[in-house]
Amino acid sequence: MTAALRIARAEWGFWLRSRLLRTALAVFGLLLTAIAVLSATRIETESARRAAQQQAAEAAFIAQPDRHPHRMVHYGHYVFRTPPPLAMFDPGIDAVAGQALFLEGHRQNSAAFAEAPSAAGVGAFGVPHPALAYQLLVPLLLIALGHAAFAREREAGTLAPLLAQGVRPAQLAAGKAIALGVAALAMLLPAAGLAALAVADGESPTVAALQMLLYAGYLVVWVLAVLLLGALLPRRADVLGALLLVWLATTLVLPRLAASHAATAAASGKIAADIALLEGLRNAGDGHNAADPAFDALRRQLLAQHGVERVEDLPVNFRGVVATIAEERLTALLNEAAERRMAQERAQSAQLAAFAWASPALATGIASRALSGTDLAAMHRFQREAEALRFEFVQGLNQVHANRLRYADDIQRSVDPEAERRTRVDASHWRLLRAFSFEPAAPAARRANAFAASVALAAWLVALALGLRIAVARLRP
């Protein structure tokens, strides 16, 4: 057995003989396991609930009776953002962003909370989840275990006899790092269980492994930080105080400062963006009013195209055509505004990410949400996919309106019950609604989203390893 392994074994022996540290290890192990089980149960339940709600919404849409297709445009439809498998480990925005979107004609609605329990994570520190526990709590355990690694030897006078046996300072540091590193990896076992469960639920094994690698890297950052300050500072009280300050600054203060800073970046928000859009929407024309001057050119073009004098003589229902064109113009404007808003949100997110270079916890959190598929990019993708579905079924209904209904009936239906009856189309048309299922982004896309923050974390690893190497080379009794 090498000197480093003997030192590591001696360190474990010391921890296991200390009632306080033994208790701390047991409490943390139980706590992490409990959080993992609760989180897995919660996300599995949420996932099943939202999938069931999605099916119920689709069934309700298809079950609508024969009616005017534009009534179905306004009847609308719900889509639900089912959490990805790795949300069990890091729910990310799942708890704080809406999970359901109501899709209807002429509007892009904001996401809302589907059920009260879905919003339980909002407020205070929210529902504890494994990612948060690993980012915040496990470093505290590593500090408790490792802060005295060198100071204890120095204070007890055992550093001199240790080094006098021919042990090199680098071997001593390696032994302490192995001991602390193994403790950190043991704490990752509940997380590994969740990752395995996520893989069983369909998650990419590569992404799940990368997620574990990310957290192993984060905990190694803390192992190195604990040992670096332990090697630099003479007394264990100094080491403990310094480490707690670093923990407070990098896991609590800096991420919140970063969030506050990012919030100052210009971002109009959904409601402000909607208000700014109003003028553009007015110019696009009212799709309910075929006589709106905005559609004069369209009318002239159609009449000329079909060589007729009146819209009544067109082979298509002019009101349906107007609804189709209006929806197209309006959607282009709404999408442009939505992309503008999402770009602003991405800019805010980038400002937050800049702080990752100052906080390994922030870097880990950003990369973790990206890998889990619970980051802002996932929310934007959900909004885009939902919008694509909305546009698709609304335009499908508008096509039915244009092609299946006679213009003459359409304009008389509010005063003529027979005309109204004839404008009802067969309910089988509602089957044009495509089934919606929100799937996680491709592994390559998630890896790409996590790359920059992972590089920041790797930079921390390298810097701390170099710092420890220098500090340990100067280690003296």
Partner 1 sequence: MVPALEADALTILRGGRPALRGVSFVVRPGEVHALLGGNGAGKSTTLLAFLGFLAPAQGSVRVEGADVGADPAHARQRIAYLPENAALYEHLDAYENLDYFLALAGLRAVRAAIDAALDRVALAPAARTRRLETYSKGMRQKVAIALALLRETPILLLDEPTSGLDPVAIDEFNRLLRELANAGRTVLMVTHDVYGACQVADRIGLLRDGALVGRFEAAPGARIDTEAVHAAFVAREPA
Strands of 100-104's sheet, edge to edge? Answer: 77-80, 100-104, 107-108
Nearer to partner 1, 156 or 266 (CB): 156
Q: Does 264 bind partner 1 (CB under 8 A)?
A: no
Q: Does 299 bind partner 1 (CB under 8 A)?
A: no
Nearest-Å Rg of the Cα atoms of the chain is 30
Nearer to partner 1, 13 or 123 (CB): 13
Task: Point out which span in 74-82, 159-167, 197-205, 407-415 binds partner 1 (CB under 8 A).
Answer: 159-167
Q: Does 126 bind partner 1 (CB under 8 A)?
A: no
Nearer to partner 1, 22 or 431 (CB): 22
Q: What is the Cα–Cα distance from 54 to 435, expressed in whole angstroms? A: 9
Single out the residue of 158, 289, 301, 437 in contact with partner 1 (rule: CB under 8 A): 158
Q: Does 477 bind partner 1 (CB under 8 A)?
A: yes
Size of the site for partner 1 (CB under 8 A): 23
In 233-264, which residue ranges form alpha helices assigned H by DSSP? Answer: 236-247, 254-263
Nearer to partner 1, 238 or 385 (CB): 238
Task: Point out which span in 138-146, 162-170, 259-267, 450-458 binds partner 1 (CB under 8 A).
Answer: 162-170
The dihedral built from the CA positions of residue 371, 377, 380 and 384, taken in this order, carries a sign that is negative
Output the CA–CA distances (angstroms, integers) from residue 286 to 8, 35, 319, 336, 398, in the order listed: 75, 52, 11, 19, 14
Helix (H) or strand (E) holding 79: strand 77-80
Q: What is the Cα–Cα distance from 43 to 32, expressed in whole angstroms? A: 16
Q: Does 157 bind partner 1 (CB under 8 A)?
A: yes
Instruction: Give me the half-sphere count of Cα atoms (radius 13 Å) on the Cβ side of residue 358.
Output: 15
Q: What is the Cα–Cα distance from 150 to 228, expressed in whole angstroms? A: 10
Single out the residue of 59, 63, 164, 297 in contact with partner 1 (rule: CB under 8 A): 164
Q: Does 470 bind partner 1 (CB under 8 A)?
A: no
Single out the residue of 136, 137, 167, 257 in contact with partner 1 (rule: CB under 8 A): 167
For the CA atoms of 118, 119, 121, 123, the dihedral, rounded to the nearest 10 degrees, stands at -170
Single out the residue of 156, 271, 297, 304 in contact with partner 1 (rule: CB under 8 A): 156
Instruction: Give me the half-sphere count of Cα atoms (radius 13 Å) on the Cβ side of residue 437.
Output: 8
Q: Does 22 bind partner 1 (CB under 8 A)?
A: no
Nearer to partner 1, 41 or 158 (CB): 158
Q: Give the β-pairing of 107-108 and 77-80.
A: unpaired
CB 235 within 8 A of CB 155: yes
Q: Does 389 bind partner 1 (CB under 8 A)?
A: no
Nearer to partner 1, 157 or 205 (CB): 157
Shortest spacing between CB 236 and partner 1, in angstroms = 15
Task: Point out which span in 7-15, 40-48, 321-329, 424-432 binds partner 1 (CB under 8 A).
Answer: 7-15
Q: Which residue ranges make up the site for partner 1 (CB under 8 A)? A: 1, 3, 6-7, 10, 13-14, 17-18, 156-158, 160-168, 476-477
